[in-house]
Amino acid sequence: MAVSAGDVLRITAKMSLAGGDLQNVFHVFNYGAGEDNATVFAALATLVDDAYDLIADEFDTSLQFETIHIVNLTAEELVGEEAWPTLTAGLDTSGILPQQLAPLVLFSTSTLRSQGRKYLPATAYNTLTNTGVLFGTTYTSIAFWAASFLAGVTAGSASFVFGNFNTGTGVFSTWIGAIVESIFRTQRRRVPGVGS
């Protein structure tokens, strides 16, 4: 099967932390031509893997990178699901902050009242300053992580941008900017096994 021009895909970056499932979900729009599923999956999975590689050392070793799952929402078919291309686990050994604490990245669009929100997994203990905010180096790493998605990706003849997808209206709103919140947010649903 293939991904066609104008298709919207959902990418689920599957992880686990201290035995509980975690997922970050992204949507992409193909503004290029059609391309086969294998080529599309390889390009998108590599972008996601490369982006998280920029922040892997901000996470405790108990964070496990499980699989990347991609579905073509327009065609209602699976594009693919495989292990992350290179990442297996976080790299920090200082311990983990409470799992409810999550760095938050906001993605802006040109569509009214359409804003992307991505909560990252709880970071390692040494990413928190004594004033309760992200260390500058962690903040910078997350900013580069966000920039990876703003850049989009080409997969053969297909070209993808990341954004928000409203399943009710079918409207896709491209991300045009990002803000990394310096204060940790509380993700109340982030308990083991919730959100999987």
Look-up: residue for tokens 């503004």?
31
CA distance 58 to 120: 11
Q: Where are the domains of the chain?
A: 2-186
pLDDT at 195: 47
Amino acid present at 188: R
Q: Write the Ramachandran bin of 95: left for phi over 0, alpha for psi from -120 to 50, otherwise beta.
A: left
Residue 177 backbone dihedrals phi, psi, to 5 degrees? -165, 170
CA distance 45 to 141: 19
What are 10-59's pLDDT values in tens digits? 999 999 987 788 899 999 999 999 999 999 999 999 999 999 999 999 99
Question: Which residue has better confidence, 164 or 100?
Answer: 164
3-state secondary structure of 30: strand
